Amino acid sequence: MKLVQDPWLAPHFEWNAKHLFKYNGESWVRFYDELVTGDLWWEIQVNNYNHLLAMGGKPLLLIVYADKTRLSTFGTAKGYPVIARVGNLIVNLHNSDGPGGGFMIGWLPAMEEPASETHK
């Protein structure tokens, strides 16, 4: 994958699961700020959940979604772009329109809604 090999983006990738805590004046409270701070990432990497990773391996998270806000027309066909983003990049990069942002990987056809289903 070209993004992983990009020398500008390389320092912005997060590869290791982590737990973050802050002191609220009485106790330490866990907080989440990036995908690598989530429980599933921790389970997969630290506890090698179901042996998903080879020894010493690091997960590469792809976020794939269809963007219904960007309907496109191709002659008589309509569709929504399917976007992929790399979750290992820090959030302000993988949610951007610049380098490291999402890239289109396909189209999801828009289906005509039957009149009987409109406004339900």
Cα distances (angstroms) measured from residue 45 to each of 11, 18, 105: 20, 10, 27
What tokens were used for 108? 């999801």
| pLDDT tens per residue, range 59-74 | 888 889 887 766 666 6
What tokens were used for 36? 């690598």
| pLDDT tens per residue, range 95-118 | 767 776 777 888 888 777 777 777
Whether 77 and 51 have beta carbons less than 8 Å apart is answered as: no
pLDDT at 27: 97
Cα distances (angstroms) measured from residue 3 to each of 41, 66, 102: 20, 21, 11
Q: Give the C-alpha separation, 31 to 45, whole Å.
A: 19
pLDDT at 72: 66
- Rounded to two decimals, what is the model's pTM? 0.67
Domains of the chain, residue spans: 60-120
